[in-house]
Amino acid sequence: MLKNYFIDFNKKIIKKTASAKAATGKGKGAVKKGTVNIDVAAFIEKLDGIIPQKLRVDSLKPVDSSGFSPEGADIIAYKEYCRDIDKVMNGYIPYELIHGAFFMVNDLTKSSLADVFVRVATVKKINHFTEEAGSFSIPSFVIAGNNPEYTLPELKNDIMNYYMSKNVSAESEFEIMMIHNSGLLIKDWHKGDHRFIGLETGEDTMMWFFILMNEYLDVEREDVFDIRKYVRTEKAYNEF
């Protein structure tokens, strides 16, 4: 049952233009045969239907009560405090409502890996500078198109080398990387910093990503959202 659903899911999130170019392999902007690019808008639409019911996903900006709003996340999963919370907050979503962040990488190379790791680390710094800084680190998921010239073992090796050479803390690392129709790289919390498990899951990749991702998204957060902390004004009101 699950497998058939996610085979169709995979087809719906692929950019048609990328498929056409890959077939020819010619002309400006052509991509290598077998390369897959993910349509972000289509991915958001499909993703919104498979995350826990209490959550929504959209291309909105995270923010904490200090006013820090890190750049880098392409999509965030958040709890709806009210149906118009994104409008109330002018396109921002408060840190206490966020359950996950997604980072899109179509051109999967060593250079794009370094870029996405910086983006992940930046987003994970949110709420570190507030008076009520807590221990919750936003689960981060890297969604990558498939580069047939970049094998999963090579990818895993490059990821571990990057994190070790840059001395990145475990809290700043991503939780899951999904390489479309290829496999998963999953943070191994049991073996310590900079350790990841690679799984070659082929056409079942999106199905297993859905299962593992929701284990993170479904966690109940202990911190309480207080919208009053986000009212940033020095205006004084008459009291009587």
Confidence category of residue 21, pLDDT binned at 50, 70, 90:
very low
Confidence category of residue 19, pLDDT binned at 50, 70, 90:
very low
182 occurs within a structural domain: yes
Question: Residue for token digits 């019911």?
Answer: 53
Confidence category of residue 194, pLDDT binned at 50, 70, 90:
confident
2 occurs within a structural domain: no
What percentage of the chain carries pLDDT values higher than 70?
90
Residue 168 to residue 114: CA distance in whole angstroms: 12
Q: Return the bridge partners of 44, or none.
A: none
pTM (2 decimals)? 0.90
* Number of neighbours of residue 197 by Cβ within 10 angstroms: 12
190 occurs within a structural domain: yes
Q: What is the mean pLDDT of residues 207-229?
A: 94
- Start-to-end C-alpha separation, the chain: 64
216 occurs within a structural domain: yes
Report which secondary-structure segment, H or E, holds 117.
Answer: helix 110-123
Chain-wide mean pLDDT for the chain?
A: 89
191 occurs within a structural domain: yes
Asked if residue 105 lies in contact with residue 143, where contact means CB atoms within 8 angstroms, the answer is yes
Q: How many domains does the chain have?
A: 1
Asked if residue 76 lies in contact with residue 57, where contact means CB atoms within 8 angstroms, the answer is yes
**What's the burial of 4, exposed, middle or buried (CB within 10 Å: 0-12/13-18/19+)?**
exposed
Q: Token digits for 88?
A: 């109330």
Over the stretch 131-154, which tens digit does the pLDDT of each residue have?
A: 666 678 999 999 999 888 889 999
Over the stretch 22-50, which tens digit does the pLDDT of each residue have?
A: 444 444 445 456 677 899 999 999 999 99
101 occurs within a structural domain: yes
What are the start-end ranges of the E strands in 80-210?
92-94, 98-105, 140-144, 176-179, 183-187, 196-199
Report which secondary-structure segment, H or E, holds 9.
Answer: helix 2-12
Asked if residue 177 lies in contact with residue 142, where contact means CB atoms within 8 angstroms, the answer is yes
**What's the burial of 140, exposed, middle or buried (CB within 10 Å: 0-12/13-18/19+)?**
buried
Residue 141 to residue 215: CA distance in whole angstroms: 12
* Number of neighbours of residue 96 by Cβ within 10 angstroms: 23
Over the stretch 69-101, which tens digit does the pLDDT of each residue have?
A: 999 999 999 999 999 999 999 999 999 999 999
163 occurs within a structural domain: yes
Residue 195 to residue 161: CA distance in whole angstroms: 10
27 occurs within a structural domain: no
Q: Token digits for 103?
A: 């980072």
Asked if residue 73 lies in contact with residue 141, where contact means CB atoms within 8 angstroms, the answer is no
Find the Cα–Cα–Cα–Cα dihedral 49, 54, 59, 60, rounded to 10°: 170
- Domain, as residue range, for 213: 39-221
